[in-house]
Amino acid sequence: MVTIADVAQHAGVAPSTVSYVLTGKRPISAGTKSKVRASISSLGYEPPVAARTADGTRANVIGVVLPLRTGTYLPPVTRFVTGAATTARRYGVDLLLMTAEDGMPALRRVASSAHVDGFLVMDADMDDGRLRQLPAPSVLIGRPSATTGLTCVDLDFEAAGAQCVDHLADLGHRSIGFLGAPSSVYRRSTGFAHRAMAGFNAAAMRRGVAATAVSVEDDRGAVLRAIETLVRATPSTTALVVHNEAALGGITACLRAVGREVPEDIAVVAICADEVAERMSPPLTSVRLPAEELGRHAVELLVAELDGRRPPPLVLLPPSLSRRASTPDRQGSTPGG
């Protein structure tokens, strides 16, 4: 498929210049217009037929719907937006960030007025039906319970939670704790949080492992209280899975405060970005949260839909675990490299 980026490279201009020639949003010199149109003709590029403005051209703007609700931790969101923005520029498309917590009426107005071609919708709830309400092509970052009629991309969080348990059980741990997202995230049935915990619990049952799961607010005092509760409830705990990136900064100190050293007394596995796990002391074994890849896939799925192609209804990225110093062999040896 020929993209705007291909046309831009052929014509020797920026992708945004190709977009402006197509949309007329900014004045472009006659010579540059001629080069771009010649490249379009030579490459056989066909501008998408969907989501065009009133004069028949596309706006080349994608709305990113990001409700900044209680419990939202911004660093992973920033990584997602970076991946989406980088990919969008390859297609000569701009992003419009929309952060209202309850903005569906506004989204419908924007879509109806043709200011955007489509939407990327983040922070999906288990029963999320927002995409079905939008009069423009949309991609949901996350996976609700029912995906019929939707286009979704997500990490397989159930498999991620299970992979953490399997890794620890393979090392001989028989009692594992789980520190999850803030309680507000579970109350609103956010998909990634519920799925990771469900995968953790199901794998613990399958492996015959004792499991204790608690939600954790994202301040240091709350992390310490959650660890105290977990250790008091299950003093035999020898390993911990953390699915709360905001809590990771203080995890080692909080465990030390209750008499547990990492990794001598307790092994730790996190579901987070690699760079976050690697800068911990000791570096944490982790299942990678592929935020930038999710952003890239979301844009590619939406562009496919705008181009009149039928994208798959669900793209589910498999989890990938990297072993580091926080999960040594039970005999005490630490994996190298």
CB 216 within 8 A of CB 182: yes
Q: Supply the pLDDT for residue 331.
A: 64
> How far is it, in rounded angstroms, from Cα 319 to Cα 160?
5
Lowest mean pLDDT among 25-29, 137-141, 233-237: 25-29
**Selected residue with higher pLDDT from 10 and 56:** 10
| Tokens representing residue 37 in the block | 């149109």
**Cα distances (Å, whole numbers) of residue 197 to 26, 130, 214, 249, 257:** 49, 24, 10, 21, 25
DSSP state of 131: G
Q: How far is CA 218 from the centre of its chain?
A: 19
Q: Do domains 61-155+291-317 and 157-287 have the same CATH topology?
A: yes
Coil, helix or strand at residue 139: strand
Q: Supply the pLDDT for residue 293.
A: 96
Mean pLDDT for 60-72 is 77
If you average pLDDT over every residue of the chain, what do you get?
A: 84
Q: How far is CA 249 from the centre of its chain?
A: 20
> How far is it, in rounded angstroms, from Cα 166 to Cα 207?
8
Q: Supply the pLDDT for residue 332.
A: 46
CA-closest candidate to residue 91, choices 209, 171, 189, 5: 5
**Selected residue with higher pLDDT from 267 and 218:** 267
**Selected residue with higher pLDDT from 167 and 26:** 167
Query: Span 61-155+291-317: which CATH code?
Result: 3.40.50.2300
Name the fold adopted by 157-287.
Rossmann fold (3.40.50)
Domain map of the chain by residue range? 4-43, 61-155+291-317, 157-287
Q: Could you report the per-residue pLDDT of 282-295, keeping only the tens digit for each?
A: 999 999 999 999 99
Largest CA distance in the chain: 75
Which residues, in sequence order, are CB contacts of 164 under 8 Å at separation 6+?
200, 203, 241, 269, 271, 287, 321
Q: Supply the pLDDT for residue 261.
A: 96
Q: Supply the pLDDT for residue 25.
A: 57
Q: Supply the pLDDT for residue 298.
A: 95
Q: Could you report the per-residue pLDDT of 216-232, keeping only the tens digit for each?
A: 987 889 999 999 999 88
Q: How far is CA 251 from the centre of its chain?
A: 23
**Cα distances (Å, whole numbers) of residue 134 to 56, 224, 326, 329:** 20, 43, 45, 51
pLDDT at 169 over 90: yes
Most confident range (mean pLDDT) of 129-133, 191-195, 198-202 is: 198-202
> How far is it, in rounded angstroms, from Cα 4 to Cα 264?
54
pLDDT at 170 over 70: yes
Mean pLDDT for 200-223 is 94
User: Is the pTM higher than 0.85?
Assistant: no
**pLDDT confidence band for 333 (50 / 70 / 90):** very low
- Count each helix (H run) and each strand (E run) in the chain, helices first: 12, 12
Q: Could you report the per-residue pLDDT of 94-143, keeping only the tens digit for each?
A: 898 877 655 555 555 555 555 788 889 887 666 666 566 666 788 988 88
